[in-house]
Amino acid sequence: MATTYAALLRGINVGGSRKVPMAELRALMEGLGHDAVRTHLQSGQAVFTTGSSRPEGRDAGEEAGENAIEDALAAELADAVERRFGFAVDVIVRDHAYLRAIVDDCPFPAAESEPQQLHVTYFSAAVDADRFADVDRAAHLPEEFRLGDRALYLYAPNGLGRSKLAERLAGPRTTRGLIATTRNWNTVVKLMELTRD
C-alpha cells in the first residue's frame, strides 16, 4: 500500500515567469521514485503516491511522524525543482487525511460561496493566533478569516484580487519563517478528491 499526497508549489507559472511545465514536473517526480503522478492546472499542484500507507485515526506520535515525512518529501521536491529549473520554489506536501480535514473543518458556508470568495492558505507549520493579534478584523468586514490546522481560511466576497484583508494577512509579520501558499476553494476540494482515488 502507498500513501497519496498532494504537492503544492508556490508561485510558479504566474505572469509568464518561473515556468515549470507540468509534463516536466511529472517526469521529475517520477524520477524521484513517485508513482501515479498527476498534475492539476498549471499553477503548481501535483498528486502522487509513495511509501507505505498510514492508518486512519493516527495518534499524536504517528501524526508527528507523518508531518516529518511530508516535510522530507517537500524538501526533496524543492531541491529537485531548483536543480532542474534553476530557481528556488517553496513546496508543501500534505496527505489525503489532512486535505479531507481541511475541507470538513471549513468554518465558512463553502457550499454557498463562489470559488473566488473562499480560499485556504496552507502553512508549512502550525500558526498561532498571536501572529494575527494586530489585524483589525472589524475594519475588514465583510471579509473574514479563521485559523485551522496549519492553514488559514479566508472569506473574501469580492474576490482575492480586491481583498485588503488578504494583502494584510500575507505580510511579513504573519508569514515570517513559514512557507505559505494559497488556493481557491475549487482547488482545495479537487486536491482532496484526487488524493482519495
Mean pLDDT split into 10-residue runs, the chain, 197 residues: 92 80 96 96 91 48 73 97 95 97 94 88 95 95 97 95 93 90 94 91
The answer to whether the beta carbons of residues 89 and 11 sit under 8 Å apart is yes
CATH code reported for the domain at 3-99: 3.30.70.1280
146 phi and psi, to 5 degrees?
A: -140, 145
Site of grid cell 498532494: 6
Predicted local confidence at residue 61, as pLDDT? 52
Predicted local confidence at residue 197, as pLDDT? 67
Predicted local confidence at residue 56, as pLDDT? 42
Beta bridge partner(s), residue 3: 50
Predicted local confidence at residue 42, as pLDDT? 84
Q: Which CATH architecture has domain 104-184?
A: 2-Layer Sandwich (3.30)
Q: CA quadruple 133, 139, 140, 145: dihedral positive or negative?
A: positive
Q: Do domains 3-99 and 104-184 have the same CATH topology?
A: yes
Domain coordinates of the chain in residue numbers? 3-99, 104-184
